[in-house]
Amino acid sequence: MIRFFFARVILPLLLFLLLRSFLHNLFASRSKAPRAPQRPDPPSVPAGGELRKDPVCGTYVSVLAGVQQKVNGEMLYFCSDACRVKYRAGAPTPKG
């Protein structure tokens, strides 16, 4: 009885599962071509260019990417709107 069950049910089931796994791996590897890793988008601001010091926090900012404000005929560049608002409010600026 146990031999019959093993020979007629268990063994064919194991062979079927093994064959199915082998064929699945064989055809899945062929259908999926290797992809090149995706690179992040390049920055929207060109590299290089002139840098100006933010008068509030002291960060150097690209002239092309900085937040601008004209004060007494001079163009100032800020790293963010928050620094520009602090400057307008008269917050103390770093020395140096």
Q: Which residues are CB-neighbours of 77 under 8 A, at least 6 positions away?
A: 52, 54, 61, 63, 66, 67, 68
For the question of whether the overall pTM of this predicted structure is more than 0.85, the answer is: no
**Residue 95: predicted pLDDT:** 54
**Residue 32: predicted pLDDT:** 61
Number of domains in the chain: 2
**42 within a domain of the structure (yes/no):** no
Q: Which residues are CB-neighbours of 23 under 8 A, at least 6 positions away?
A: none
**75 within a domain of the structure (yes/no):** yes
Q: Is 53 helix (H, G, I), strand (E, B) or coil?
A: strand
pLDDT tens digits in sequence order for the chain, 96 residues long? 788 877 888 898 999 999 999 888 888 766 566 666 777 766 666 666 789 999 999 999 988 888 999 988 899 999 999 999 999 888 555 554
**24 within a domain of the structure (yes/no):** yes
